[in-house]
Amino acid sequence: MGAVIVGISDLKLAKPPDTLVTYALGSCVGICMLDPMTRVGGLAHIMLPTIKVSPGDKNIMKFADTAIPDLVRRMEMQGAFRGHLTAKIAGGAQMFGSTSSASSNGANDIWQIGQRNVAAVIATLQAMSIPIVAKDVLQNYGRTVLFDPATGIMTVKALNKTIKEL
C-alpha cells in the first residue's frame, strides 16, 4: 500500500490499495472525493477560494472554484461517475489574526481566508451537486489528512488533538 502525497495547490487520484495524504492544512482546505462503486478517490489541497483573486495564475489547483471541477474531470477520466461522488472536507483554519468574525466594514477580511476557503469549497460542491458527507473545518489549528479510497475513511490528525476518522 503506497501513500500518494498531495502538495499545497495540488491534486492527485488513487485507487486501492493506495492512499492519499496531504500535510499543512492551515487555512487551506483538503477536499477528498470518492466514487464508492469504482473506488476512484481524489484529494485536492486548495489554497484560495477563487481564481478571480489572481486571474493570470496558471495553477488552477490552487483555487476552490477551479480545482474541484478539475478533480471531478480527472476522476471521471478514471471511470468515476459524477452522480456517485461524495466529498469530505477538512481545514480552513483561522491560523493568524483575530478569531472573531470580520468587522462589518470588511477590515478583517484578509484574516478570514480559512473561512472564505471553506465557503468556496462548499459552494462549488453544491453547484456540482456533490454531497459533503463529513467535514472537520475552521477552528484555529492545522491538520494532516489521510484518505483511503478502499474504505472511504478520511483520517484527520492535528497536534495535541484526538485523531478523527470521518
CATH 3.40.50.720 fits 3-165, yes or no: no
What pLDDT is recorded for position 55? 85
Q: Average per-residue pLDDT in the chain?
A: 92
According to DSSP H, which parts of 4-145 are helical? 64-77, 113-127
The one catalytic residue among 28, 31, 67, 121: 28
Q: How far apart are the first and last CA of the chain?
A: 20
pLDDT above 60: residue 160: yes
Annotated catalytic residue 32: no
pLDDT above 50: residue 101: no
Inter-residue contact 95 to 142 (CB < 8 Å): yes
Domain borders along the chain are 3-165
**Residues 10/2/41/166 CA torsion (nearest 10 deg):** -100
Whole-model pTM above 0.85?
yes
The share of the chain scoring above pLDDT 90, in percent, equals: 87
